Chain A
Amino acid sequence: MSVDQATVRRIARLARIRISDNEVPKLEGELNRILDWIELLGEVDTANVEPMTSVVSMQMRKREDAVTDGGYPERVTANAPQSDDNFFMVPKVVE
């Protein structure tokens, strides 16, 4: 599998990372170099093999559905680039 320039732009869009026109060919080369190498996995017969979803075989521990934390919005928003009245401020999302 390999990517072309249009795919590189599409991936950047999905990843929400702006890339400039002159970066596209270099990225195309680097991604294809990695994807090329990954092709090695095609050699492995994985028919009838389950994908590994958990490294350690365990049931996820659950907890009581109770509020045990919170009530300090100033601390939560303290690192925000822009905040007001304990809200995170961003450019308009909905027209």
Chain B
Amino acid sequence: MSDLTRLTIAEARAALDAKEFTSLELTDAYLAAMEAHRDLNAYILETPEKAREMARASDERIAAGKAGALEGIPLGIKDLFATEGVLTQACSHILDGFKPPYESTVTANLWRDGAVMLGKLNMDEFAMGSSNETSYYGPVKNPWKAKGDNKDLVPGGSSGGSAAAVAARLCAGATATDTGGSIRQPAAFTGTVGIKPTYGRCSRWGIVAFASSLDQAGPISRDVRDCAIMLKSMASVDPKDTTSVDIEVPDYEAVMGKSVKGMKIGVPAEYRVDGMPADIEALWQKGIAWLKDAGAEVIDISLPHTKYALPAYYIVAPAEASSNLARYDGVRYGLRVPGEDIVSMYENTRAEGFGPEVRRRIMIGTYVLSAGYYDAYYVKAQKVRTLIKRDFETVFADGVDAILTPATPTAAFGLADQDMASDPVKMYLNDIFTVTVNMAGLPGIAVPAGLDGKGLPLGLQLIGKPFDETTLFQLAHVIEQQAGRFSPEI
């Protein structure tokens, strides 16, 4: 039974088609795995009844020859996605008990294509974090551990539950979101593949909003092919999201194995940061060599405003969050803490309902948008954003097809790391390689590329042109072929 969970989405799909087993059997195998690994705390809500119901419906469709693209495939759903009638709380106390009477467009697309929902996955509260330690429901443990060390490690964040569940084979694939790196960084920390598509590729309707100009949904999966399969289903233009773009969704899977000969890959000097571990530099060089071997041309490029992306992000994202999270006031849903008047009710509810990281970001956001500071901070940061995007546009106009960088500045670090806890900025620096991509609205994929000296996974990132996820999948597949697959001992 447990062997069924070793199959990728592509393999399971083929086996279901060949009637080797049923979706119900596959789903039961995953439900058993979830129960056996509750210690990871990847799932904050298991939905076994619903999963079995959906699996049976999938089996009927398969038998009738009406299988969809993801028919019968069991997936985990990040708690940020509204799932009709099923708890959706963004792992925050302030959304206690919220059951949406509607389904997010992205998950609706997955169910339309026949996928099965196993449950809701843990995450940093309101997607704010890089270690999944800000969740109201407790941290997630990375299924990976350093060689000879029993210390629990973080899976990364905010999509820590999604990445841990995929790596530990507690689902065939998972949905996630990325605002500053929340798909790519946890994917890199867990040896999984994660893509943040171009802003506007997937609909944001029904996804609890953090920073509306940066948020984007995407899949985390075990390999590049599965990632391509999932994105094809997730992506769509949506009249309910006016920032979604009406561009045809290509058959991403079709480019697996296609040659990358003649592609121009840029390596940006500014991504080589002070104190970068030798392991990561070495991995980056390996990635360059693999792409050269595959016939790509690798050139040095410059993205001069790189180092300003993270501070600019920590103005823009909190500003947008302070606006988006104003709705959590105890009136229409979630937690309500009584007060002697309406303002006290708001203040008490929000004080008790939000965790410290969320409160910190709302306060920064409120400050930078307040009278007298708006121009100095928010407008300034939006101008820097234009320059960051222009850096990329210049390089792409020069003929570069994609950019290769490390995904993270380190491998997964320890839970409750004192160093990280002592200074909020230290935690923010985890996103140093990923945040530029959200600021520019470009697509970015993290693909596992090797293990560090302690046996922990490291990932490489490829950044692409707008709506050119196809090229990213093609290149990531080449890296994957050379690097191999990585699984934790579980």
Contact = CB atoms under 8 A, between A and B. Distances in A.
B99 interface: yes
A1 B374 CA distance: 13
A31 B346 contact: no
- SS class, residues of chain B in contact with chain A: helix
B339 A52 contact: no
A31 B381 CA distance: 17
Nearest to A36: B425
Interface stretch (B122-130, B310-318, B468-476): B310-318
Contact of B363 (A27, A41, A44, A79): A27
A16 B242 contact: no
Nearest to A76: B101
A21 interface: no
A87 to B, nearest CB: 11
A47 B424 CA distance: 31
A40 B308 contact: yes
Interface string A13-34: 0111111000000010011011
Interface in A62-95: 63, 72, 75-82, 88, 90-93
Contacts of B354: 17
B399 interface: no
Given A46-B387, A55-B440, A31 B382 contact: no
A42 B142 CA distance: 38
B366 A79 contact: no
A56 B336 contact: no
B359 interface: yes
A70 to B, nearest CB: 12
Majority secondary structure, A binding face: loop
B373 interface: yes
Contacts of A46: 380, 383-384, 387
Contacts of B362: 15, 17
B343 interface: yes
A11 B305 CA distance: 30
Contacts of A54: 213, 243
B225 interface: no
B397 to A, nearest CB: 15
B205 to A, nearest CB: 13
A90 B342 contact: yes
A49 interface: yes
A55 B363 contact: no
Interface stretch (B166-174, B287-295, B327-335, B456-464): B327-335
B351 A18 contact: yes
A80 B386 contact: no
Contacts of A50: 383, 386
Given A56-B245, A75-B101, A81-B330, A34 B466 contact: no
B120 interface: no
Nearest to A68: B239
A84 to B, nearest CB: 13
A54 B389 CA distance: 11
Contacts of B425: 33-34, 37
A79 B343 contact: no
B311 A38 contact: yes
A30 B198 CA distance: 33
Residue of A37, A56, A93 with most chain B CB atoms under a 10 A cut-off: A56
Nearest to A77: B332
A44 B329 contact: no
Contact of A38 (B315, B340, B360, B441): B315
A51 B385 contact: yes
A49 B336 CA distance: 44
B322 A15 contact: yes
Contacts of B98: 79
Contact of A31 (B199, B364, B386): B364
Contacts of B198: 56
Interface string B228-269: 000000000001001101100000000000000000000000
B322 to A, nearest CB: 7
Given A38-B311, A41-B308, A91-B340, A55 B364 contact: no
Nearest to B330: A81
A72 B354 CA distance: 30
Contacts of B424: 30, 33-34
6 contacts: A31-B363, A38-B377, A49-B386, A51-B385, A91-B342, A91-B345
Interface of B: 97-99, 101, 198-200, 213, 239, 242-243, 245-246, 305, 307-308, 311-312, 314-315, 322, 326, 329-336, 338-348, 350-351, 354, 359-360, 362-364, 366-367, 370, 373, 376-377, 379-387, 389, 423-425, 440-441, 466
> Closest 3 interchain pairs by CB?
A55-B441, A51-B382, A81-B336
